[in-house]
Structure 1
């Protein structure tokens, strides 16, 4: 399997935009080096996603669906990005 990450869904905190612009850091390098505001990722089945979201939200966490798991052929990347990181 591979993780398909929707970059448009990531609410990038201003400090990361500042870092990218001030340091001249390309979006690809920002993704490789920094978490860009994502503190934790939880991978769950689609049928359990709402239950897990409800529990984490009730406990005070901010939940942002980032993508999905997709089939991966041999030799393909384990993470596939779509969209644009909002820096």
Structure 2
């Protein structure tokens, strides 16, 4: 979801370099859906790449029941809308 933290980590090599300023194994906030590419280098200096797509979902627009004033002990129903639960 928008604003959530993401951690991308490569495996199968000795060192890793991600595009888009990402540091391997370090959390970041993805602001848009994007494909990230990592280049892994092994102990022999051989390299290969892999990609990971991070899909950023927009947050729902949630609304709540209007403010209500009731007497102590009275029942009131509150409801929200704009999301699935």
Short-chain TM bin: under 0.3
The one of the two structures with greater contact order (alpha-carbon pairs below 8 A, sep at least 6) is 1
Q: TM-score, normalised by structure 2?
A: 0.23
Q: Is the radius of gyration larger for structure 1 or structure 2?
A: 2
Structure with more of its chain in helix, by fraction = 1
Structure with more of its chain in strand, by fraction = 2
